A = this chain, B = another copy of it.
Amino acid sequence: MDVKFVEMALLYDFYGSVLTLRQQEIIDLYYMKDYSLAEIGELLGISRQAVHDNLKRAKKQLYGMEDSLGLVKRFHRDRKEWSVVLDRIAGVIDALEAEGGKEKLMAELREIMEFITQATGG
């Protein structure tokens, strides 16, 4: 996927619910389902220009929300931080493994890593 599409997918994921249903529909069709402006216009019974304007407004709103709340930026930062945590727990597991006979503690730490991976969005 194009980097801009990934960025838009994140913006849409975090802030999509503040858009109108029509805007959500257009963003979804254009960015997630790869329809052209003309195709979306046909599908929704509006002009290509109206789709274009709606899309532009929607994008402006999503970027405006990000400017205010910065959830996408925080998401990227958090992912980096949590991967450090996971690496460190993995290091503890390695150290336990080197000693042998610590299967229960290792299993527990692996479960904790799995939880953190899930909780921080995989």
B89 near A112 with CB under 8 A, answer yes
With A14-B69, A18-B68 as contacts: A109 and B92 at CB distance below 8 Å: yes
With A78-B119, A119-B78, A119-B81 as contacts: A88 and B108 at CB distance below 8 Å: yes
The chain B residue sitting closest to A15, CB to CB, is B69
The 8 A CB mask of A60-90 against B (1 = contact, 0 = none) is 0000010011010000001001101100110
Is A17's CB within 8 Å of the partner chain B?
yes
The complex is assembled from copies of this chain, and their number is 2
The 8 A CB mask of A28-44 against B (1 = contact, 0 = none) is 00000000000000000
Is A116's CB within 8 Å of the partner chain B?
yes
Is A105's CB within 8 Å of the partner chain B?
yes
The chain B residue sitting closest to A108, CB to CB, is B92
With A14-B69, A68-B17, A69-B17 as contacts: A112 and B96 at CB distance below 8 Å: no
